[in-house]
């Protein structure tokens, strides 16, 4: 479900009046929306991406003021949405099922605003896309995906649906960031569907009413086995295998039709897949050994927990044959978006 601007709004009139009163620059918009004297971490750490986000807002505002059409107003509201999320989503407060705020899990599982913006630049989500997010956690990256206004947005996680009120977390975050704005320029969002399921054992989508029959774009942000060890006991090789199993499960579950995947993973993972395909690596164990070599992990071999069934690996090979790695800017570890296409 997509929440959109009312029909008839935008061609001059009240829309033009509201847009004229908006701050002129991205920095001024940030200062207008800021609730306290706490600086945005994203703005401080990533000035180059900050400039891109700020310029997108000021440019769309100028475009709408020059040509006040409904389409341009929608684009202005979208630019406001991404600027707001980039600046303030790190302050989002995950709400537990009992109504309390969870201040412990969030810092370890979120995808940072600069990374989120860069992933969306690669994925290029449109209003006609059916989007599935795997490993959605408490909905941090979900917020950015919703602002992209796809036709459908479903988000899958094994644990967070049990422990957190994800709909309230999402609604409160939106209100916290955009409540000071006139409804005319508030960004449109696609209401996410939150689904509890195991990403490495997804059901057949055509046979499960919780899912769409098919998704054409799937985004994954699996645990890495580095920072995630603070909350989940996974080695990096095990986390890598979890990602492989999830892609294999997706390929089997996603019905008929082409789809693209966008996995935000450590750069060594992406390099391992690319190298394995280049070297015509025919089994999963060999690929895990390549990963361990890249990470400098000494090992006598590959354990059962670090491998997947031969049939699953065989299903992944056509997907990985199309793999491309896109390096994105990150301050903590090397991150890449590995893209694949299934015919």
pLDDT at 89 over 60: yes
- pLDDT tops 50 at residue 17: yes
The residue-averaged pLDDT of 63-73 equals 94
Q: How far apart are the first and last CA of the chain?
A: 27
What number of helices (H) and strands (E) belong to the chain?
14, 9
Question: pLDDT tens-digit profile of 168-178?
Answer: 999 999 999 99
Q: What is the mean pLDDT of residues 207-234?
A: 82
Residue 9: band (very low, low, confident or very high) from pLDDT cuts 50, 70, 90: very low
Give the rounded percent of residues in the chain with a pLDDT score beyond 70.
90
| CA angle (308 as vertex; 303, 310 as ends), nearest 5 | 120
Q: Choose among 138, 136, 127: nearest CA to 90.
A: 138
Nearest to 53 by CA among 18, 74, 27, 77: 27
* Selection from 147-151, 272-276, 339-343 with the highest mean pLDDT: 147-151
- Residues 82 and 33 sit within 8 Å (Cβ to Cβ): no
Give the side-chain half-sphere CA count within 13 A for 200.
Answer: 14
Mean pLDDT for the chain overall: 88
Tell me the per-residue pLDDT of 32-54, one tens digit each, with 9 for 90 and over. 999 777 788 899 989 999 999 99
Structural domains of the chain, with CATH:
96-342 (3.40.50.150)
Q: Would you say the C-alpha torsion 299, 302, 303, 308 has a positive or negative sign?
A: positive
Structure tokens at 143: 């917020």
Which DSSP state fits 318? Answer: H
Q: Write out the two tokens for 252.
A: 């089997």
**pLDDT in the model for residue 8:** 38
Tokens of 175: 């209100």
Q: Are 178 and 194 in contact (CB under 8 A)?
A: no
For the cut 90, the answer to whether the pLDDT of residue 22 exceeds it is: yes
- Sign of the C-alpha dihedral, residues 123, 125, 128, 132? positive
Would you state the structure tokens that stand for residue 275, as one six-digit string?
């190298």
**pLDDT tens across 154-193, in order?**
999 998 999 999 999 999 999 999 999 999 999 999 999 9
Three-state SS for 132?
strand
- pTM of the entire predicted model: 0.91
State yes or no: pLDDT of 79 exceeds 70.
yes
Lowest mean pLDDT of 56-60, 117-121, 230-234, 309-313, name the range. 230-234
Element containing residue 133 per DSSP (H, E): strand 130-134
Q: Name the nearest CA neighbour of 121 among 268, 267, 219, 222.
A: 219
For residue 303, what are the contacts with CB-CB under 8 A and spacing of at least 6?
Answer: none
Type and span of the H or E element at 193: strand 193-196
pLDDT in tens, 104-129: 655 555 788 999 999 999 999 999 99
């Amino acid at each position: 479900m997509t929440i959109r601007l009312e029909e008839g709004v935008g061609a001059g009139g009240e829309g033009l009046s509201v847009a004229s009163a908006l701050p002129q620059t991205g920095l001024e918009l940030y200062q207008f929306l800021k609730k306290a004297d706490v600086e945005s971490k994203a703005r401080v750490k990533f000035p180059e991406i900050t400039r891109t986000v700020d310029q997108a807002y000021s440019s769309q505002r100028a475009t709408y003021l020059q040509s006040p059409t409904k389409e341009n107003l929608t684009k202005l509201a979208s630019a406001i949405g991404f600027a707001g999320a980039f600046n303030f989503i790190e302050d989002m407060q995950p709400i537990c099922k009992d109504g309390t705020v969870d201040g412990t899990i969030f810092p370890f599982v979120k995808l940072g605003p600069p990374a989120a913006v860069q992933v969306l630049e690669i994925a290029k989500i449109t209003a006609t896309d059916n989007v599935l997010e795997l490993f959605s956690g408490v909905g941090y990256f979900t917020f950015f995906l919703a602002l992209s206004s796809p036709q459908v947005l479903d988000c899958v996680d094994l644990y967070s649906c049990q422990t957190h009120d994800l709909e309230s977390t999402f609604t409160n975050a939106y209100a916290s960031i955009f409540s000071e704005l006139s409804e005319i320029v508030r960004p449109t969002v696609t209401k996410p569907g939150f689904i509890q399921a195991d990403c490495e054992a997804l059901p057949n989508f055509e046979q499960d009413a919780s899912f769409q029959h098919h998704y054409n774009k799937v985004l994954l942000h699996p645990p890495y086995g580095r920072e995630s060890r603070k909350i989940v006991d996974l080695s990096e090789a095990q986390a890598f295998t979890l990602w492989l199993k999830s892609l294999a499960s997706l390929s089997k579950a996603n019905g008929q039709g082409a789809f693209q995947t966008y996995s935000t993973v450590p750069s060594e993972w992406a390099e391992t897949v690319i190298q394995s395909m280049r070297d015509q690596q025919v089994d999963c164990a060999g690929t895990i050994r390549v990963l361990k070599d890249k990470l400098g992990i000494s090992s006598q071999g590959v354990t059962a927990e670090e491998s997947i069934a031969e049939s699953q690996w065989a299903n992944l090979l056509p997907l990985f044959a199309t793999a491309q790695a896109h390096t994105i800017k990150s301050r903590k570890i090397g991150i890449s978006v590995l893209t694949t296409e299934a015919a």
